[in-house]
């Protein structure tokens, strides 16, 4: 009986000790701000007496605006376009974008077919399936759009436009054309530009060496 009483007493002591807050005390934290970070709920309303979205007013509040740090890229996302949208009336970045090459390699047949599909869905309604500016919105002047969209094949302005400048226009919009950044990701935009450039190259007349030689002879004869 005495043994049972002792065992019971010891068991009760162990249970009490295990439930005690003394064992749960972790002690002092060297850097409490890192040990116990504030949890931010993305879409929750924040207490304006504690938080601020004004970067110039952080002397007594915590600055937080839900935006990622400048230069942050999503996982799997390619390097962003280095030219921001120009302010109204400015063309600095639009002109500078001429220097930026198409980062995608030349498309194989499967990717070219996908680029054609993307073009027809997003661009063909204005610029036409033949890239002649005669899409359903214009329809030989009988469509709902009064002004003919840009002729991508057959117009020297667009045939000579560098890939980077064309990408700038598709990304930010230009003149009456709006931005397609929300409809097409970066790779898809570059794919469409590859498709347009391939069509432009195919439409250009091929000059054979013999024809070039004959032209040179004619030119010399005229002199």
Predicted local confidence at residue 215, as pLDDT: 56
Domain for residue 132, yes or no?
yes
Domain for residue 162, yes or no?
yes
Predicted local confidence at residue 24, as pLDDT: 61
Q: With contact defined as beta carbons under 8 Å apart, do 116 and 195 qualify?
A: yes
Domain for residue 156, yes or no?
yes
- Rounded distance, CA 2 to CA 4, Å? 6
Domain for residue 161, yes or no?
yes
For 187-196, write each residue's pLDDT tens digit: 999 999 999 9
Residue 158: domain span: 108-203
Predicted local confidence at residue 36, as pLDDT: 67
For 153-173, write each residue's pLDDT tens digit: 999 999 999 999 999 999 999
From 93, 77, 166, select the one nearest 123 (Cα to Cα): 166
Domain for residue 102, yes or no?
no
Record the pTM.
0.64
Domain for residue 220, yes or no?
no
Predicted local confidence at residue 45, as pLDDT: 78
Q: With contact defined as beta carbons under 8 Å apart, do 193 and 102 qualify?
A: yes
CATH number, residue 160: 1.10.760.10
For 30-63, write each residue's pLDDT tens digit: 777 666 666 666 677 778 888 888 888 778 888 8
Domain count, the chain: 1
Neighbours of 138 (CB within 10 A): 21
Q: What is the token pair recorded at 208? A: 């054979």
């Amino acid at each position: 009986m005495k043994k049972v009483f002792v065992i019971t007493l010891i068991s009760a002591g162990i249970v009490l000790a295990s439930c005690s807050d003394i064992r749960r005390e972790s002690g002092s934290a060297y850097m409490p701000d890192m040990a116990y970070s504030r949890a931010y709920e993305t879409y929750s309303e924040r207490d304006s007496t504690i938080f601020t979205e004004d970067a110039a007013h952080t002397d007594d509040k915590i600055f937080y605006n839900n935006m990622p740090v400048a230069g942050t890229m999503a996982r799997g996302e390619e390097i962003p376009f280095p030219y921001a949208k120009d302010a109204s009336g400015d063309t600095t970045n639009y002109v500078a974008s001429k220097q930026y090459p198409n980062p995608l390699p030349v498309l194989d047949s499967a990717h070219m077919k996908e680029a054609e599909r993307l073009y027809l869905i997003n661009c063909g309604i204005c610029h036409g399936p033949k890239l002649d500016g005669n899409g359903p919105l214009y329809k030989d002047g009988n469509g709902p759009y009064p002004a003919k969209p840009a002729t991508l094949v057959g117009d020297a302005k667009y045939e000579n436009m560098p890939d980077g400048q064309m990408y700038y226009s598709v990304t930010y919009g230009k003149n009456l054309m709006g931005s397609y950044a929300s409809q097409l990701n970066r790779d898809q935009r570059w794919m469409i530009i590859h498709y347009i450039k391939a069509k432009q190259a195919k439409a250009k007349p091929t000059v054979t060496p013999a024809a070039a030689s004959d032209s040179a002879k004619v030119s010399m004869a005229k002199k």
